[in-house]
Each structure stands twice: as structure tokens, then as C-alpha cells.
Amino acid sequence: MTSNYEHVVLDGANLIHDDKKDKDGNKILLILPERLQIAISHCESLGWPTTAILKKGTYLRALRTRHLDTVGDIEILDGLIAEQKVILVNRKKDDIYWIDFALQRNALIITHDKFNDKIRDGVTIQGERSLYPDRDWDDIDRRTLRGHEYIGDRFIVPGLSKKRIIEQDTVTIEMFDRLSKRVIELEEMVREKPHSELKEATISDTDSQDADELTEIVHSVFEQMLSSGEKVEMSHMQRSIASVVLGCDIETYPKSWPKGWVKELGDSLDFQGTLHDLLVHFSPRKLCRESVRKDGLPPLVVFFC
């Protein structure tokens, strides 16, 4: 299957994100650059040039909360970005962006995503297949490898074999022009702000961080919490966002959290209103809520719909 391809493109969100549960069963979000490094190194060890695509909001979130135990070694991620093994894209680019990126590079795609529609509570949420019917989905399916997992510190990808080396004696002018055009197209697709500037701006003054970048950070929380179809209690969603925006350790809530953190969160996001209004305003997708009975109580939960 892999003999005709030239590159590997990784769905970075699948790899860098992980989670664990607190004592009440709520999801605690983790960002682990070590996982991304292991995946890239594994593919490269088989001879595959490898690039991971990652939302800029995830990187900004990792920088902002780098002092917390829920974030791994940020220097690893910085190194991968500097080596152009990780490319950051902004929140306005959805999954079709990195699919197109993979097609441009004639690459295999490693992801858990099937790009299908999802039905939740009778409502259909369109996936990339429905949103972009003009793409060659048979070709995309042929080049997509799923089912990857981590076993200890090993990254396992069913179907990914050692890359064959194809000798090419001569390069024609036509081939060179085609390659040059591809390089230009790829350069136009990558991040707008240089990595060094992005890091410096985030570290030097988180209090005055660009509002759009702060929104990207909050979006990354929503995506990691809800994109797999989960329903999350509104109060825990609020704490998860506050942990990132205010830099509070969610594992020590409420003991070490400052009094008035709810107001501080609203001030930081420049938003005044109810919790539901805040969540709806900052959600990257349509958000629904419902009451779910739990231990005799009906807490409100939110989910993508």
C-alpha cells in the first residue's frame, strides 16, 4: 500500500493530546509533546519524511500553561517546530486543510478521523466527506492509516512499512518546475506568524495576549474536550477553560484557586454574561446543553451538536 507515496503527514491533535480522569470522573486535558516526538521519530526510522499538522491554539495553550503538570516538555515541541517537522495552522483552517496538505505532498495520512458525518441526538453533524464532496475520497481513504496506538514508549501504526527508495537518475525541467510550484503552494499554506515571534509574544506578556490568539487557545480546549462526542458538565468546562486562561492547576481545584476566579476569567476574555452565554460565545462549533441525571442530581452538560 505504501510503495507509491513520498511522505507521511500526521494528525497532530491525535498524537499530542491525551487525558486522564479526576476523582469525580471528569476529564483532565494533557498536552504531551513527547508523544508527538515519538511518532515522528518512528516514521522517520522507517525512512519516511514526516510532518505533523497542529492547531496554533494547542501550541499557545501549551506555552501559556507550561508550568503545570498537565503539560509535557515544551522544548521538545519548540524543537520540532524549528525543524519544520511540526507546522502550526490557525483555527480558521479545518481538517480539510491538512488533508489537502497531504495530497500536495503525495503523503500517507495517519489519523483516527474517518471524516464521516456524526449523528448526535438525532442531529447530523457533517464531516469532511459531506462538506467537501469534490475531493477524491477513494484516494484519501487509500492513503489513510488508522488504528495507531502507543504501547509504552513505542508508537505502533498498522500498515506502515519501511519506505522504498526509488532511484531517479535525471530531473527534467518539467519535473523541476512542478516541484518548485509545489514548494510555493506549501509555503503559502503554513503559519502566518514566525514561531519565534509567536513564542516571545506569548511568554513575555500573557495578560495582554492578542484576543484572537486567546480565542484560539479556548477553541483548543473545546475541541479536545468535546470533539469525540463527549458531554461535559458546564461547570467542569468552565474550570477547564479557566485553568488554561488563568494558569490555574485544575488538579488542585478549588483549594489553590484564587477567590474571584470566575470574574477574573470573564475579565480576561473580555466577556460579561452567564456561563452558558460564555460557552456558546467561545465554542468553535454549535453548542447544545441538556440536563443529565447523576447521583440524584440533574447537572447541565454541553456538547457539540
Please state, rounded to an integer, the average pLDDT across all residues of the chain.
86
Tell me which architecture the domain covering 7-199 has in CATH. 3-Layer(aba) Sandwich (3.40)
Rounded Cα distance between 64 and 87, Å, is: 19
Which cell is 111 given? 489519523
What is the C-alpha to C-alpha distance for residues 233 and 301, in angstroms, rounded to an integer? Answer: 4
Q: Which residues touch 152 (CB under 8 Å, ≥6 apart)?
A: none
Average pLDDT over residues 220-249: 94
3-state secondary structure of 141: helix
Q: Per-residue pLDDT averaged across 272-281, rounded?
A: 95
**CA nearest to 291, candidates 241, 222, 233:** 233
pLDDT of residue 174: 60
Q: 295 pLDDT exceeds 70? A: no
Summarised one tens digit per residue, pLDDT across range 76-134 is 999 999 999 999 988 666 678 889 999 999 999 999 999 998 877 677 788 899 999 99
pLDDT confidence of residue 192? 47
Calpha distance 291→219 (Å, rounded): 23
Instruction: Give the pLDDT confidence score for residue 275 in this predicted structure.
Output: 95
Map residue 260 onto helix, strand or coil: coil
More confident of the two residues 172 and 4: 4
Report, as an integer, the average pLDDT of 197-219.
69
DSSP 115: -
User: Which tens digits make up the pLDDT trace of 170-196?
Assistant: 555 565 555 555 555 554 554 445 565
pLDDT beyond 70 at 293: no
pLDDT of residue 298: 64
Instruction: Tell me the backbone φ, ψ of residue 196, rounded to 5 degrees.
Output: -60, -40
Residue 109 neighbours by CB distance under 10 Å: 25
Beta bridge partners of 304: 287
**Beta-bridge partner residues of 123:** 120
pLDDT at 235: 95
